[in-house]
C-alpha cells in the first residue's frame, strides 16, 4: 500500500526536509522553551513550578535528541488515545530509525508528539500549548485583512432582486471562485515558516481584495476550481431541500481559520451546504494548527475581545456580528468541531482506512472533504518524490480508490517539495527559473479527486 516513489528524508540535502530537520525544528523548539520559561516566571505556586521545570527538562532532552540525531524511541504511555498508533508505527515500520533517516513527515510529526509528551506526563500542565501566545498575537496583528473581510461579509447574504435563476447561479459561481481563493490563500499565514514576520509581511500575505485575487489565480498551478463548482452546484452534492455535508480537515489557527469560517458561512448561507464539520488537532501541532482552544478563542475574541485598539467602531461591530453568527451556527450544529487521534499520528493518509477505519467510515458519509494546507497535502500524497505531473487521484492512493472514498479537495499553498497535479513543463520551468518556488508559499494547487461513493 505504498507509492512507488521514495519518501523525502532529513538527510536529503537537496530537499526542504534537510533544512527543516536540522535548522527549523531546533529553532522552533528553542522558542517553545522560551515560552515555557515565560510562563514559569509568572507562576507562584511551588508544586506547579516544580512540575513545569520537569516539563522544561523533557523539552531539553528532546532538543538534544533532535540535534544529536537520536533513534526515535517509543512514546511514553501517558494514557492518551493515540499511543497505540504511535508505538505501532515505530515498532513496525520505523524501528531503529533516527530523526534524519526516518521519512521526513514521520520524524517531523514525531517531534510534535514528543513535545506534547513533555507536558502530558506532568500533573498540572497536560494541555499546555507552547504556541498559543504566538497564534493569538499573529491574529491580533492581522487587522487589515480581518476587517477587510468582516466589513464585507458581516451583513447576511442578499439575493439580487428580480434576477433570473440563471443570473443567480452565475453570481453564485463567481462568488464561489472568489471565496475558495480567500480560503486557499488564508493558508499562506503559517507560523512555522514565518518565525520573524513583520506587520508588512503579514499584510502582503493576507491581501484579499478582488484585484489581488485575480492576479494570484495564475499562481494556482493545478486548478480544478471549475470542476469543483460543477460538482458542488449539482444535485449529486445537494438537493433543493437539503444542502450537502462538507468536512474541512483544518490547518492553521488564527487568520486561516477565520477565512475557513468566512467560506463555511457563505456555503451555508448560499444553501449549498447544510452541515459543515471542522476537524482539528487534539494538541499543539506543527506550530499553528487549530486545536479546540484556538477554535473557541477565535469566536470569543471576535465577540468579546479587545485585540484591535486602533479599529473603528464600525469595524469592531462587523467583527462582533460575524462572531455572533458563527457562534450561532455552532449552537445549532450547522458547524461542528471534531478531533480524532489519527490527525495527530505519524501515519500518512494512505493508511487512514487501515489505521482509523472509524474515521474512514465517518468521512465516507461526507459529500466533500476539503484538506487545507501544506502538511495535509504532504500526508495525502505520502510526501514522496512523485513526478509533478502525477494526477492527484493517483497521488493519494487508497483515499481515491477504496469503495466509499468521498470526493476530496486539497486547498494548498505550496511550502514543501512534493508537487503533484501540475503540468511537467510548468514545474520544470519553475525548477529552472525560480529556485525556492516549492517552499515560498507563493504558488498553490486546488485539486479534486472524485472518490468512489458509487
Ligand atoms: O515543516 C515543514 C512543514 O511541515 C511544511 O508542510 C510547511 O512548511 C509547514 O511545515 C506547515 O505548513 P501548513 O501549516 O500549511 O501545513
Ligand atoms: Mg499548519
- Pairwise CA distance, residues 377 & 394, whole Å: 13
- Ligand closest to 253 (CA) is 2
Show the cell assigned to 315. Answer: 469595524
The yes/no answer on whether domain 16-120 falls in CATH 3.40.50.300 is no
Is it the case that residue 298 has pLDDT exceeding 90? yes
CA of 126 to the centre of ligand 1 (A): 25
pLDDT of residue 205: 54
pLDDT of residue 241: 84
Question: Who contacts 63 (Cβ-Cβ below 8 Å, separation ≥6)?
Answer: 26, 29, 30, 33
- Ligand closest to 106 (CA) is 1
Show the cell assigned to 146. Answer: 480581518
- Which residues sit opposite 275 in a β-bridge? 245
**Percentage of residues in the chain having pLDDT higher than 90:** 87
Give the pLDDT confidence of 245-276 residue by residue, as tens digits: 999 999 999 999 999 999 999 999 999 999 99
Q: Which atom of ligand 1 is nearest to the CA of 413?
A: 15
- Pairwise CA distance, residues 126 & 132, whole Å: 14
ipTM at complex level: 0.97
Is it the case that residue 192 has pLDDT exceeding 90? no
Confidence band (pLDDT; 50, 70, 90) for 210? low
β-pairing, 444-449 vs 408-413, is antiparallel
pLDDT of residue 162: 87
Show me where the domains of the chain are located. 16-120, 132-449
CA of 375 to the centre of ligand 1 (A): 5
Q: Which CATH class is domain 132-449?
A: alpha beta
CA of 258 to the centre of ligand 2 (A): 14
Q: Whose CA is nearest to atom 3 of ligand 1?
A: 375
Across the range 70-88, mean pLDDT stands at 96
Q: Determine the residue of 374, 381, 440 to mutate for testing ligand 1's pocket, defined as the one with the most ligand atoms within 8 A of the Cβ atom.
A: 374
Q: Is residue 454 exposed (0-12), middle (13-18) or buried (19+ Cβ within 10 Å)?
A: exposed
Confidence band (pLDDT; 50, 70, 90) for 16? very high
Q: Which atom of ligand 1 is nearest to the CA of 187?
A: 15
Q: Which range (151-160, 188-197, 328-337) has the least confidence?
A: 188-197
pLDDT of residue 209: 59
CA of 314 to the centre of ligand 2 (A): 32
Q: Whose CA is nearest to atom 8 of ligand 1?
A: 415
User: Which of these, 22, 198, 104, 30, lies nearest to 416 by C-alpha position?
Assistant: 104
Q: Determine the residue of 105, 190, 253 to mutate for testing ligand 1's pocket, defined as the one with the most ligand atoms within 8 A of the Cβ atom.
A: 190
**pTM for the full predicted model:** 0.95
Confidence band (pLDDT; 50, 70, 90) for 197? very low
Average pLDDT, the chain: 94
The answer to whether 257 and 250 have CB atoms below 8 angstroms apart is yes
Name residues with Cβ closer than 5 Å to ligand 2, which is an ion.
Answer: 251-252, 286, 289
Ligand 1 first shell, C-beta below 6 A: 20, 108, 187, 190, 192-193, 251-252, 286, 373-375, 378, 415-416
- Pairwise CA distance, residues 74 & 72, whole Å: 7
Show the cell assigned to 179. Answer: 471565496
Amino acid at each position: 500500500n505504498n507509492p512507488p516513489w521514495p519518501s523525502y528524508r532529513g538527510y536529503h540535502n537537496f530537499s526542504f526536509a534537510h533544512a527543516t530537520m536540522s535548522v527549523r525544528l531546533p529553532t522552533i523548539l528553542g522558542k517553545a522553551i522560551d515560552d515555557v520559561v515565560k510562563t514559569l516566571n509568572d507562576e507562584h505556586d511551588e508544586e506547579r513550578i516544580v512540575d513545569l521545570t520537569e516539563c522544561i527538562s523533557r523539552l531539553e532532552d528532546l532538543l538534544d535528541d533532535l540535534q544529536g540525531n537520536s533513534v526515535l524511541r517509543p512514546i511514553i504511555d501517558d494514557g492518551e488515545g493515540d499511543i497505540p498508533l504511535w508505538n505501532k508505527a515505530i515498532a513496525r515500520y520505523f524501528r531503529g530509525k533516527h530523526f534524519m533517516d526516518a521519512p521526513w513527515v514521520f520524524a517531523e510529526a514525531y517531534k510534535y508528539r514528543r513535545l506534547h509528551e513533555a507536558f502530558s506526563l506532568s500533573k498540572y500542565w497536560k494541555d499546555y500549548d507552547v504556541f498559543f501566545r504566538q497564534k493569538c498575537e499573529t491574529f491580533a496583528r492581522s487587522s487589515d485583512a480581518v476587517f477587510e473581510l468582516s466589513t464585507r461579509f458581516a451583513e447576511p447574504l442578499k439575493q439580487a432582486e428580480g434576477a433570473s435563476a440563471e443570473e443567480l447561479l452565475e453570481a453564485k459561481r463567481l462568488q464561489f471562485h472568489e471565496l475558495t481563493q480567500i480560503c486557499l490563500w488564508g493558508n499562506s499565514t503559517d507560523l512555522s515558516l514565518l518565525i520573524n514576520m513583520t506587520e508588512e509581511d503579514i499584510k502582503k500575505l493576507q491581501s484579499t481584495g478582488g484585484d489581488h485575487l485575480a492576479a494570484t489565480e495564475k499562481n494556482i498551478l493545478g486548478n480544478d476550481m471549475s470542476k469543483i463548482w460543477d460538482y458542488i452546484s449539482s444535485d449529486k452534492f445537494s438537493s433543493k431541500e437539503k444542502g450537502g455535508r462538507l468536512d474541512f480537515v483544518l490547518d492553521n489557527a488564527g487568520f486561516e481559520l477565520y477565512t475557513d469560517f468566512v467560506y463555511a458561512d457563505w456555503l451555508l448561507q448560499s444553501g449549498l451546504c447544510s452541515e459543515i464539520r471542522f476537524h482539528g488537532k487534539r494538541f499543539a501541532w506543527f506550530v499553528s494548527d487549530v486545536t479546540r482552544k484556538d477554535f473557541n478563542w477565535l469566536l470569543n475574541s471576535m465577540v468579546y475581545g479587545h485585540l484591535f485598539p486602533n479599529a473603528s467602531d464600525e469595524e469592531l461591530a462587523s467583527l462582533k456580528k460575524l462572531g455572533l453568527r458563527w457562534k450561532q451556527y455552532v449552537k445549532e450544529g450547522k458547524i461542528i468541531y471534531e478531533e480524532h487521534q489519527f490527525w495527530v499520528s505519524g501515519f500518512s493518509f494512505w493508511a487512514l482506512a487501515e489505521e482509523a477505519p472509524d474515521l474512514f467510515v465517518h468521512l465516507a458519509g461526507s459529500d466533500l472533504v476539503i484538506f487545507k494546507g501544506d502538511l495535509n497535502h504532504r500526508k495525502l500524497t505520502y510526501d514522496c518524490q512523485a513526478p509533478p505531473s502525477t494526477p492527484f487521484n493517483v497521488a493519494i492512493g487508497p483515499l481515491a480508490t477504496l469503495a466509499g472514498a468521498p470526493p476530496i479537495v486539497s486547498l494548498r499553498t505550496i511550502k514543501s517539495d512534493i508537487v503533484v497535479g501540475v503540468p511537467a513543463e510548468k514545474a520544470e520551468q519553475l525548477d529552472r527559473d525560480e529556485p525556492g518556488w516549492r517552499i515560498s508559499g507563493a504558488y498553490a494547487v486546488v485539486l479534486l479527486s472524485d472518490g468512489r461513493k458509487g
